[in-house]
Amino acid sequence: MVVIRSLRAINFRRLNIPEPLQLDRGFIIIKGRNEAGKSTLIEATLFGIYGDHQAIGAIRGNPQRGYAEVVNHRSRRALVEVEFEVEGRRYRVVRELEREGDSIKQTSARLIEVTSSERLIATGVKAVNEEVQRILRVSWREMLTTNIVAQKDLERIIEMSKGDRERIINLMMGLESYNKAISILDEERREKERRKSELEKSIRELEGKIGELEKLKEAIVEWRNALRNIQDELPKLLEREKTLKLARDYLEELYKALMARSKIESEIKVLEGQAKTLRQAIEDAERRLREYESELKAISEKRPLVAQELDKIGSELKQVQEMLRKSSELLLEMKRYYNEREEIVSRINRLAERISSSELEVKRLEAARAEIEELRAQKSRLEERLSHLSTPLWVKVGAVVSLSVAVLSLLLLNPLVSALVSLPGIALALIAAWRVKLQHSLRDQVVKLESELKAREALIPSFERERSVLEELLKEKSALEARVKELEELVSRVVGEYGLGRESLADAIDALEGEVERLKSREEELRRGLAELEAEEKALEDVEKRRRNDVEDLQRQLEELRSGLGRVEEERRRLEEEYRGIALPHPPQELASLAESGALTPQTPTLDTVKAAIGRVVDELNKIAQTRATWETRMLDLRERIREAEEKVSQLDKLRGDAEALRSELQQAEEDIAVALKAIEAMREISKKRREAFAPSVENYMSWVISYFTDGRYRAVKLNPENYDIEVYDSEAGRWMRRDIYSGGTNDQFLLAMRIAFTLTLLPGAKGSYPRFLVLDEPLGSSDVERRERIMKFFTGELTRYFDQIFLITHVDVDEPPNSTVVYIEDGRIARVSRVEQPEEQ
C-alpha cells in the first residue's frame, strides 16, 4: 500500500510551497484557475518520488523535453520534497535542481526513512532512484498508465503497444516472474544466436583460409620457376646497364662542352645587343640634350617679356582698384544723399497733407466765431421780446370779474345774462393764455441758443491749438524744403566735379553704379590676366628648373652609357677568347666503335642531337634500372612469398581440425536456440492464458462505471483485446456502436471509464506495495452539469472503496462532498486548505 503524505516544492515551475502540504487519506480536491499550478503538483510528486526527468515531459505528452523549464525562470535553483508511506513505513525523498546557463541538472537527492526517527537510506541521484524503485516495485511509466488519469491523456492505454500493455498487466497481476523468465530465456536465446552467428562467421573464415592455403601450395611451385628465370637473365641486364652508363657519362660531358660554347655564344649575342642598345641610347641622350638646351634658351628669352607684361598689368590693376575705391565711396555717399532727400521729400508730402488738414480746421474756427456772434444776436432779440410779453393786471382782473358775474347769473337761473356777461371774461382769458404760450416758446428758443453757444464756445480752444500746430508745421516744411534745396545744390556740385553729366540725383547714381560695375569687371579681367601671367611665369620657372635637372641627368647618363659601352666591348672580347679555349671530349675506348659509326651522335654534334642521344640512353637506362629493380624486388618478394607460404601451408592440417570442432559447436548452438524458443513460447502461452480473464474483467468494470456515469443509457461495453478500442451498447439505438461516432464529451467519459476499469481490474492481483492513491486530472471539463454530478457521486462513493487517497484536480465548480479536503492553489502557491465537515443530521 502506497499513499502520499506530504509535498513541498520551491521554484518548481510555477510552484512555490515552502512549507509541506500535508495530505491525509480520503477524497482531496485541488482547485484553482487555469495555469495556477494544479497539474504541476502531480509533476512535482511524480518527479520527487522517481527522480526521472522523462516523467515530467511524459505527463505533458513529450518525454524528450527533460528538465526544460522545470526551474522557475526567476530562480537558479529548485527543490522538491515528497513524503510517502509504504506498508506502514514512511519515507521522505528530497531532490534539488540547478540551472547552469541554458541547461538544468539534478544536483542532489536524499532518501530518508521517517517512520519513528529519521534515518538516511541513500544519497545521490542514481542510488536514491534505485532504492525507491526497490521499495515501490512500480515504475513511473506503470503508474502513469494506472494511477494517474488525465483528461488530456485518456487514450494512453489505446495508444500503447500490445507488448507494453501485456508487460504492465503481467507486472500488476503478479506475473513478473513470467516476464523475468521470458526475459532470461530471450536473453539466452539472443546470446546463443550471437554465438551461432560468430561460429558461422568463424567457419566461413576458416574454410576460406583452408581454400587459400591449398591454392597457396600450388602457387609455391610457380613462384620457384619464376625465381630461377630471373636469376638467369639478370647478369645480361647488368652488362647492358654498364655500357649505357659509359655512353651517358660521355654524352653528358659532350653536352656540357657544347652547352658552355652555346652559353658563351648567347652571352656574346646579348653583349652585342647591349652594345647596340647603348649606342642607340647615347644617340638619343645626345639628341634630347640638344633639345633641352634649345628649350632653355627659348625660356630665358621669354621670361623677361612675361615679367614686363606682369608689371604693366599690375600697374593698371592698381589704377583701376583706386578708381573703383573712389567710385564706390562716391556711390555710397550719393546713395546716402539720395535716401536722405527721398526721406525729406516724403516727410514734406506728409506735412503738406497735415497742413492742408490744419488749414481746414482754422477755416472752421473762423466760421465758428461768426456763428457764435450770430447766435448771441439772436439770443438778445429773443430776450427783448420776452420782456414785452408779460400779461397786464387789468386783463387778469377783468377776466376774473366777468367769469364771476357769469357764474352768479347762472346760479340766479338766468342763462342768457350769464352767457352775455361771460363773453368778455372768456376773451380776456384767451388773450392771457396766448401770451403765456408765446412766452414759453421764446424761452425754449433761448435755452436752445444758449446750448449751441456753449458747444461753439467749447471748440474755440481746440481751434486755437490747431492754429499753433499749423504755424509749427509750416515752419518745419520750410526747413525741410531748405534742406532739399541744400542737398540738390550739393549733388549738383558733386556731379559737376566728377563730370557725370546727369541732371537728376537718380540718373547720377545709375551712371555711377554703371561705372563701378565696369571698373569691377575690368579689375576681375586684370586679375585673371595677372594670374595667368604669374602661372605662366611659374610654369616657365618650373620648366626651366626641370630642364636644367634633365640636362644634368642626361650628361651623367651619357657618361654612364659611354662607360657601360666600353665595359660591354671588353667583356665581348673576353668571351670570344674563352670560347676558343673550350675543346670537345673524345669517346671512351669501349664506345669508340659506336661513336665512329654515328650510333651515338652525328659526326658534327649539336646540342639538340646530343640532348636527343642522352634522352635515348637515359630512357633505356631507366627502363633497364626499372627492370632490374623490378626483378630484384620480384626476387625478394618471391623468396619472401615462398617462405611465408611454406609457413602457412604447414598450418593446413590444424585449420582443418579447428573447422571441424567449430561445426560441432555450431550444431549444439542451433539445438540450444530451438530449445529456448520452445521454452519462451511455452511461457508466453502460460502468461497469455493467465491474462485471458483480464479483458472481460475490464469490460465488466467499465460497463459498471459507464452505466453509473450515464444513468443507464450505456449499459454494456465490448473491448477489443488487440488494441483496446471500445464499442458500447446504446439502449436508445438498440445496437452496439463504436465510440468515435459520439461527441467529444461522451468519448472522454468512455475513456475515463476504461482507465478506471483498467486500474480496478489490476488491483486484486497487484503487489502489496501497489499505490493506493488515484489522481484524476481535470476529468470533468467536457461533461455537462448532470453527468458531472453523476461522475462526482461515483468518485466520492464507489471509488473510495478501492483507493485510500483520491486526488481530483479541477477548475470547474463542483459540490464539495463531506469529509473531503479542499486545497486552493493560486499562482503556484497554496492559498488555503479546508476540510468539509459532515453535515449534522436533522
Contact 248, 646 (CB under 8 A): no
DSSP string computed for 91-106:
EEEEEEEEEETTEEEE
Note the pTM of the prediction, 2 decimals. 0.44
SS3 labels along 679-735: HHHHHHHHHHHHHCCHHHHHHHHHHHHHHHHCCCCEEEEEECCCCCCEEEEECCCCE
SS3 labels along 428-464: HHHHHHHHHHHHHHHHHHHHHHHHHHHHHHHHHHHHH
pLDDT score, position 825: 93
pLDDT score, position 95: 94
Q: Is the pLDDT of residue 461 over 80?
A: no
**Could you tell me where the DSSP H helices lie in 110-153?**
125-136, 140-146
Mean pLDDT along residues 207-211: 83
Contact 456, 372 (CB under 8 A): yes
607, 609, 612, 613 alpha-carbon torsion, rounded to 10°: -110
pLDDT score, position 767: 47
pLDDT score, position 80: 95
Query: What are the φ/ψ torsions at residue 775 (nearest 5 degrees)?
Result: -110, 125
Residues 499-533 pLDDT 10s:
555 556 677 777 777 878 888 888 888 888 888 88
Q: Is the pLDDT of residue 392 over 70?
A: no
* Greater pLDDT, 405 or 771: 771
Mean pLDDT along residues 710-716: 83
Q: Is the pLDDT of residue 155 over 70?
A: no
Mean pLDDT along residues 371-395: 70
Please give the share of the chain, as a percent, with pLDDT higher than 90: 8
Torsion region of 160: left, alpha or beta (phi above 0 gives left; psi -120 to 50 gives alpha): beta
Query: What are the φ/ψ torsions at residue 711 (nearest 5 degrees)?
Result: 55, 40
Query: How far apart (Å, rounded) are the C-alpha atoms in residues 497 and 503?
Result: 13
Structure-block grid coordinates of residue 67: 528538465
Structure-block grid coordinates of residue 685: 502461452
Q: Is the pLDDT of residue 401 over 70?
A: no
Asked which of 41-50, 250-259, 676-685 is least confident by mean pLDDT, the reply is 676-685
pLDDT score, position 203: 84
Query: How far apart (Å, rounded) are the C-alpha atoms in residues 759 and 176?
Result: 17
**Could you tell me where the DSSP H helices lie in 388-414?**
393-411
* Greater pLDDT, 378 or 153: 378
**Domain 2-138+770-835 = CATH 3.40.50.300:** yes
Q: Is the pLDDT of residue 410 over 60?
A: no
Residues 92-149 pLDDT 10s:
999 999 988 878 888 999 999 999 889 999 999 999 999 998 888 777 777 777 778 7
Query: How far apart (Å, rounded) are the C-alpha atoms in residues 512 and 518?
Result: 10
Residues 783-796 pLDDT 10s:
888 888 888 888 88
